[in-house]
Amino acid sequence: MRRLAALLLIWAGLVAGPAFGQRLIAATSDPEVSIDSTFSGESITLFGAIEPELGASEVPAGTYHIIIAIRGPSHDRVARLKERVLGVWLNRQQAVFKNFPAYFWIVSSAPVEQITDAETLDRELLTFESQTRTGAEANDSMTALFGTELVRLMQAKGLFGSESRAVQFLSDRLYQARIDLPAFVPNGNFLSRTMLFRDGELVASKAQRFTVRTAGLDRFVVEASRNQSLAYGLACVLLALGTGWLSGAAFRR
Amino acid sequence: MQLYLPIAELSLNIFLLMAMGGTVGFLSGLFGVGGGFLLTPLLIFSGIPAPVAVASVTSQVVAASTSGALSYYRRGGIDFKLALYLVLAGIIGAVAGVWTFGWLQSIGQLEVTISLCYFVFLGSIGAIMLYEAARAMLRTRAGQAASRHLPGQHNWMQGLPLRIRFKRSQLYVSVIPVVAIGIVIGFIGSLLGIGGGFMLVPALIYLLRVPGNVVIGTSLLHVLCIMAATTVLHAVSSHTVDIILAFTLMIGSVIGAQFGASAGKRLRGEQLRLLLALLVLGVAIRFAASLLIAPADPFSMAILAQGAI
C-alpha cells in the first residue's frame, strides 16, 4: 500500500515538469528491513522514476537503462589456498582483502554488458572484480587469482550475484526492482547505488541506504555471542550444568 | 526438521543432531568415557566448522559429566584437594590451549591441526586399546584368568620434591606431576574439544597411584571444571560456542547415556573394550583420509575482522 502511494506521488511529480535533461528519483520500500524467517529471507523493493531536469519539460529521447548495485557491510576477508605438504593438505598461500563487502549484488534492466562498455562498468565499480581490487593488500597476479576465487566462493554462497532482468520499467519513466535478501545476509548498513544510462552513457545516479536486521532467536544468539560474550559463555555453562543435573535427578533410581 | 545453528551458520536435521548426541551419550554410558573425542569428530564430519564443533562440544561435556560427578560426590568418591590442584593447573593449560586455538585460527591452520592431533591421538590410543583388548580376549580363550596389572608401589615420581599430602586419596606425592598432568590435559582438552577423562584416569592411576574409589569421581570433577572454564574462554576469545547446537547435543547425550549405562551391565568387559578400540581407530582413519585426500575445493575464505562500511 505504502509503495503504491509513493509511486503515485512520484508519478504526480513527474507529470508537472517543463523542458530538457533528466534526473533520477529513487526510493526503497523499507529503510529498515527485518528478516524474521530463518529459511525464506526477505525482499526489498527499490523503485523510482526518471524525471526531466528542473526547468525542463521532457526527458531527452534515447534508450534508458538502469543498473543498481547493492553493497552490504564489509569485513576484512581472507582467501586461502590448500596445497599438499608431505602428503597432507593444508592452507599455504593467502590473500587479504580489506573492507570486502559481505554482500554485493548487481541488478539491471538488461545484461550489463549490453547497457554500457566494460570500461564504464569497471570505473563505476559495477563488476565483481572491482570489489576485490579496492582493498587488496598487494597488486599482483596472485592477488588477482585469489580475488577471482573469493568472488566465486561468495557467489556460491549467494552473497554475490547479478540479475539482468530484475529492474523492470513499469512505464517509460517508472522503474522498480525487487531484491531478495537471503536469510543469512549479514546485518548492517546497505548502500544501493542506482545508475541511469542513456544510450550507454551514465547520465544520473542516486545512492540510498537501508539497514538489514535479522530478528528472532538466531540473531539474538549471534549478537549475544559477539557483544556479551562473557555472559553468553556463562549462560552456556549454566545451561549445561542444569541439563546435567536435571538428567541426573530424573534418571536416578 | 531442519534446525538452524546460528554460530555454525548452517542448518542440520534436528533428529540427526539428537541421534549423534544420543549415540555418543550411549557409548559414553557404555564405556564410561566422556564422549567428547567421538562427538567432536562426528560434528566435523557432518560439515560443522571445526572451531564451532570443538567449542560447542566443550559445553556439552560439562552437561555429560555433571550427573556423574554429582553421583560420585554423594558416594564420597571425590578427592577435593587433589581436584583443586588439578583444576588450577588445568585452567592454566586451558588458557594456553584457547590462546593457541585462536592463534591457529588466525593463521588458517586450525582445521588441519585439529585433524592431525585427532589422528595421532586416536590412532595411538586405539592401537594400544586394540592390542590390550585382543590380548585379554586371547588369554580368556586360553583358559587363563586375566591377570590384572597392578601398579607397583613406587616409581620415580615419588622422589620429586614439593610433596603434598592428599588425605582422601591416602597419597603423599610431589605436586609437580599433579600440576603437569593438569596442564597437559587442560591444554589438549581445550584445543580438541575433549574432556580428557580417558587420558586422566590412566594418568591418575598409573602415575600418581590414586586409589580406584576416588579416581573416577575426581577425574569427572576435573573434566567438569576444566570444560566449564574452557567454554567461557572459547566464548570470550573466539565466539565459536553455538548454544543451540550444544543444547541439542546435551539433550541427546544425557538420554543416550542412561541407555548406555544399563546396556553396559549386560556386556562383557573385553568385548566392550575391543568395540571401543575399533571405533576409535575408525575415527582416526577417517581423519587421516580428510588430511590426505585432495579437497573438493582447494580455496576457502574466512572473515578476519569487522570492517567499516
Q: Given an 8 Å threshold on Cβ–Cβ distance, is A87 in contact with B255?
A: no
- Arithmetic mean of pLDDT, B94-113: 89
Q: Where are the alpha helices (DSSP H) in chain A?
A: 2-15, 112-115, 118-123, 128-134, 141-156, 217-227, 229-251
Mean pLDDT, chain B, rounded, equals 83
The residue among A104, A120, A105, A128 whose CA lies nearest residue A198 is: A120
Q: Does position A37 have pLDDT exceeding 80, yes or no?
A: no
Nearest Cα residue in chain B from A185? B9
Q: Does position B102 have pLDDT exceeding 60, yes or no?
A: yes
User: To the nearest whole percent, how much of chain B has pLDDT over 90?
Assistant: 20
Chain B interface mutation, best of A86, A237, A251, highest count of B Cβ atoms under 10 Å: A237
Residue entry with cell 535427578: A249
Dump the DSSP string for A41-75. Answer: -EEEEEEEEEEEPTT-BSPPPS-EEEEEEEE--EE
- Arithmetic mean of pLDDT, B167-182: 82
- Arithmetic mean of pLDDT, B175-203: 86
Q: Which of B241, B293, B297 sits opposite A225 (nearest CB)?
A: B241
CA distances from B4 to A182, A218, A221, A243, B116 (A): 14, 8, 11, 21, 29
ipTM: 0.82
Nearest Cα residue in chain B from A231? B232
d(CA A176, CA A184): 24
pLDDT at A83: 85
Q: Which of A98, A240, A245 sits opposite B60 (nearest CB)?
A: A240
Give B307's pLDDT tier (boundaries 50, 70, 90). Answer: very low
Q: How many CB pairs under 8 A join A and B?
A: 184
CA distance B219 to chain A (A): 16
d(CA B89, CA B82): 11
- Asked whether A51 and A22 are in contact (CB, 8 A), the reply is yes
The residue among A20, A30, A25, A29 whose CA lies nearest residue A10 is: A25
Question: Which comes out higher in pLDDT, residue B33 or B259?
Answer: B259
CA atoms within 13 A on the CB side of B300: 17
- Arithmetic mean of pLDDT, A60-76: 88
Dump the DSSP string for B101-137. Answer: HHHHHHTT-HHHHHHHHHHHHHHHHHHHHHHHHHHHH
Q: Which of B112, B294, B299 sits opposite A90 (nearest CB)?
A: B112
Strand partners, A43: A180
Q: Given an 8 Å threshold on Cβ–Cβ distance, is A149 in contact with B299?
A: yes
Which B positions 41-60 lie with beta carbon below 8 A of chain A? Answer: 59-60
**Is the dihedral angle over the CA atoms A167, A170, A172, A174 positive or is it negative?**
negative
The residue among A217, A236, A237, A240 whose CA lies nearest residue B251 is: A240
B67 touches chain A (CB under 8 A): yes
Choose the weakest-confidence range: B65-79, B156-170, B193-207.
B156-170
pLDDT at A236: 93
- Arithmetic mean of pLDDT, B102-129: 88
pTM score, two decimals?
A: 0.77
The residue among A194, A147, A36, A92 whose CA lies nearest residue B295 is: A92
The residue among A99, A80, A101, A75 whose CA lies nearest residue A91 is: A80
d(CA A1, CA B176): 75
- Arithmetic mean of pLDDT, B240-261: 88
Q: Given an 8 Å threshold on Cβ–Cβ distance, is A77 in contact with B108?
A: no
Q: Which of A82, A153, A233 sits opposite B295 (nearest CB)?
A: A82
The residue among B188, B39, B179, B38 whose CA lies nearest residue B100 is: B188
Give B231's pLDDT tier (boundaries 50, 70, 90). Answer: very high
Q: Which of A188, A235, A240 sits opposite B309 (nearest CB)?
A: A188
Question: Which comes out higher in pLDDT, residue A217 or B89?
Answer: B89
Q: Does position A39 have pLDDT exceeding 70, yes or no?
A: no
Contact residues, chain A, for B303 at CB < 8 Å: 75-78, 102
Lookup: cell for B29: 554410558
Which B positions 198-257 lie with beta carbon below 8 A of chain A? Answer: 228, 231-236, 239, 241-244, 246-247, 250-251, 254-255, 257
Q: Does position B294 have pLDDT exceeding 70, yes or no?
A: yes
CA distance B257 to chain A (A): 10
Give B285's pLDDT tier (boundaries 50, 70, 90). Answer: very high
Question: Which comes out higher in pLDDT, residue A18 or A10?
Answer: A10
What's the CA angle centered on B42, arms B36 and B47, to 5 degrees? 130
pLDDT at B309: 36
Convert the pLDDT of each residue in A121-163 to its tens digit. 888 888 888 888 777 767 777 888 888 899 999 988 888 998 8
d(CA B55, CA B105): 13
The residue among A223, A153, A234 whose CA lies nearest residue A188 is: A223
